Amino acid sequence: MDTYAVFGNPIAHSRSPLVHQYFAQQFDDVIQYQAILAEKESVKQIFDDFFVIGKGANVTLPFKEFAYEYADILSDYAQQAGAVNTLIKQSDGSILGDNTDGVGLVRDIANLGFDLTNKSVLLLGAGGAARGVLPALLSKQPLKIVVANRTAEKAAKLAEVSPLVDGTSLTNIPHQPYDIVINSTSASIDKRILDIDTTLLKDATLIYDMFYSADGTFFNEWCQQFSSAKTFDGLGMLVEQAAASFYLWRGKRPDSKRVINLLREKIQSESKNTIS
């Protein structure tokens, strides 16, 4: 039986084991996929021990930068992102590091019926999540991407990847129409209102929060006060990035939309049971 895992801290909340079991069932594959709690002090040993038999792994916070250093070979996306969320054991025993976060995001946006080509994009946040998706966003040839962050210096550093990207502070976002607004900050987790001019949201047709929730995210609900844009959370991105990992490991492309629906139903059911 092929063995896979997701590493992170915390990790007990991870939906990845369920998602990958859904994928495997589509092909009548039998796999083992487990969530493994890693500690910073021992993470290299944990990775080493796993890959004695493990075929591949996902990596989530806070170890994506460590996985970048751990990999023997890096894909173009991983190099551009400076972070790895997928590790693949090669036939010679070496470890390939890839990053499927951006692929997951752009595929979900396409699934939702939106096109990034020639669109103006406002990307909120300049941390690891933003860095991980920026190369894939650029691959869709947007008109412009403005990265806005609490500290302008971090956004400006991220903007160095392409002339199509500008970096600025949240309080100094250029006043121009934005077709698509993407939140990569922890605003929904922290229930924190971002310090941005809300008139910047009025022209958007899509507002996308990379965080996901059973009942709508804090960021999206806040945006709905100032924009008539359609709002979506990041559940589809979660499944699509996992599907890209599954394909890298097993050469099979699962039906992601079916799994998104199954997972959404499960999360909503759990939420109702919790409330009752």
Query: Which amino acids are annotated catalytic?
Result: 64
What are 11's two structure tokens? Answer: 């990790």
Q: Which residues of 113-131 are buried (b: 16+ CB within 10 A; e: fewer)?
A: ebebeebbbbbbbbebbbb
Q: Which element (helix H / strand E) includes 181?
A: strand 180-183
Report the interhelical angle of 256-275 vs 16-26 (nearest 10°): 140
Give the whole-angstrom CA distance, residue 177 versus residue 268. 34
Residue recorded with tokens 């998104």: 260
Closest CA to 133 of 161, 152, 175, 173: 161
User: How many other C-beta atoms are found inside a 10 Å radius of the C-beta of residue 164?
Assistant: 15
Best CA proximity match to 99, nearest among 125, 135, 61, 123: 135
Region class of 191: left (phi > 0), else alpha (psi between -120 and 50), else beta: left
Tokens of residue 154, six digits: 């971090």
Interatomic CA distance for residues 273 and 276, integer angstroms:
5
Contacts of 122 (CB under 8 A, 6+ apart): 145, 146, 148, 173, 178, 180, 181, 182, 200, 204
